[in-house]
């Protein structure tokens, strides 16, 4: 099968389309024919490997010394079950699913194997494979950090990085809970960020949001570019600051995927897609994401007939 392999750490040029062995599912696994994946922040971080000096060696030992130990990146996917292990009970051949692979990566390929008891769920019936692939990373990450922030109805919530993959999900999920949401993004994205539910907007290119006179019950940095110290004065006495910075990939729960699926199918949540790239253009997709201006998700479509 074809896979986009990260041959070493570095620029998007280190990603190469290669022929690799097609995996065989173990007794508890399903073999998935992948139709769509994304370029998530976790893929970018691992591929380019920027790490503080004191963490450089421990992280290299964990991830791989000269290249990622999991050389096929990709943390989320949508596809079709084409083979099941002998003990699999939840899924059957032909099932359309969406899933998170997390730190196991592996979604930049035509096929991958997933344990049936991990973060795998039936694809929402009203989404395409591309839309379903754009659902899980941002949605599960926002849910994870909202739990840490103990978000509740009636609170005031500020979301920094409101226009990204995590931020666009966070806005919608915060509104579903019943909060007042302030989104921080560029003015160019105001209209569609507001369409997702943001009540108030701050243009970070013209205004330092940390100098706002407002006070918030939860501040969620969805891009990891602020600090708790700089945001402390914006918090209410019992307010909480949470950030994706230094957290890696959030803990993935199958129940979160099922919750997101239910919201999608009842029309309360929608995935946001900026651009779609064909499989062989994953390096170009990485370059686009690294510019830092994407809106929502960048999706990769895998057309098996063309590979």
When pLDDT is cut at 50, 70 and 90, the band that residue 226 belongs to is very high
pLDDT tens-digit series, residues 236-255: 999 999 999 865 566 778 99
Average pLDDT of 132-138? 96
Specify which residues 275 forms β-bridges with. Answer: 298
Q: Do residues 94 and 30 touch, judged by C-beta distance below 8 A?
A: no
190, part of any domain: yes
Is residue 89 located within the same domain as residue 150?
no
178, part of any domain: yes
User: pTM of the predicted model, to two decimals?
Assistant: 0.92
Is residue 166 located within the same domain as residue 81?
no
105, part of any domain: yes
232, part of any domain: yes
When pLDDT is cut at 50, 70 and 90, the band that residue 181 belongs to is very high
Query: 151: domain CATH number?
Result: 3.40.50.720
Domain hosting residue 50, numbered range:
2-135+271-306
Is residue 219 located within the same domain as residue 118?
no
Residue 100 has what pLDDT? 96
Query: 41: domain CATH number?
Result: 3.90.180.10
Residue 58 has what pLDDT? 58
Q: How many separate domains does the chain show?
A: 2
Query: How far is the C-alpha of 165 from the C-alpha of 137, rounded, in Å?
Result: 8
Q: Do residues 147 and 173 touch, judged by C-beta distance below 8 A?
A: no
Average pLDDT of 219-237? 96
Is residue 110 located within the same domain as residue 46?
yes
Closest CA to 3 of 63, 98, 79, 74: 74
262, part of any domain: no
180, part of any domain: yes
15, part of any domain: yes
Is residue 33 located within the same domain as residue 102?
yes
pLDDT tens-digit series, residues 11-64: 999 999 999 999 999 999 999 999 999 999 989 989 987 655 445 455 566 566
110, part of any domain: yes
Last residue of a domain, one of 199, 227, 243: 243
Is residue 294 located within the same domain as residue 197?
no
Is residue 13 located within the same domain as residue 125?
yes
Query: Which phi and psi angles does 209 have, rounded to 5°?
Result: -65, -20
- Secondary structure (DSSP) of 49-84: ----HHHHHHHHHHH-SSS-SS-B--SEEEEEEEEE
When pLDDT is cut at 50, 70 and 90, the band that residue 306 belongs to is confident
């Amino acid at each position: 099968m074809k896979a986009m392999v990260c041959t070493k750490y570095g620029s998007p040029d280190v990603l190469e389309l290669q022929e690799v062995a097609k995996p065989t599912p173990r007794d508890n696994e399903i073999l998935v024919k992948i139709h769509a994946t994304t370029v998530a922040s976790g893929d970018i971080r691992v591929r380019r490997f920027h790490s503080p000096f004191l963490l450089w060696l421990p992280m290299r030992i964990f991830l791989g010394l000269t290249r990622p130990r999991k050389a096929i990146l990709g943390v989320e996917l949508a596809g079709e079950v084409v083979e099941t292990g002998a003990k699999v009970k939840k899924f059957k051949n032909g099932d359309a699913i969406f899933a998170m692979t997390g730190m196991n990566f592996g979604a930049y390929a035509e096929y991958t194997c997933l344990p049936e008891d991990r973060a795998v769920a039936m694809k929402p019936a009203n989404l395409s494979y591309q839309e379903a692939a754009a659902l899980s990373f941002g949605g599960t990450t926002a849910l994870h950090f909202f739990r840490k922030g103990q978000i509740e109805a009636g609170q005031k919530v500020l979301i920094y990085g409101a226009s990204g993959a995590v931020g666009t999900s966070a806005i919608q999920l915060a509104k579903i809970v019943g909060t007042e949401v302030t989104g921080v993004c560029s003015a160019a994205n105001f209209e569609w960020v507001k369409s997702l539910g943001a009540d108030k907007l701050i243009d970070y290119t013209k205004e330092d949001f940390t100098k706002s006179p407002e006070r918030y019950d939860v501040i969620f940095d969805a891009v990891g570019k602020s600090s708790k110290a700089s945001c402390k004065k914006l918090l209410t006495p019992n307010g909480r600051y949470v950030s994706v910075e230094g957290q890696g990939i959030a803990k993935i729960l199958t129940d979160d995927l099922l919750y997101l699926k239910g919201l999608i199918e009842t029309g309360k949540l929608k995935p946001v897609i900026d651009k779609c790239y064909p499989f062989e253009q994953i390096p170009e997709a990485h370059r686009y994401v690294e510019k830092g201006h994407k809106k929502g998700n960048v999706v990769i479509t895998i057309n098996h007939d063309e590979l």
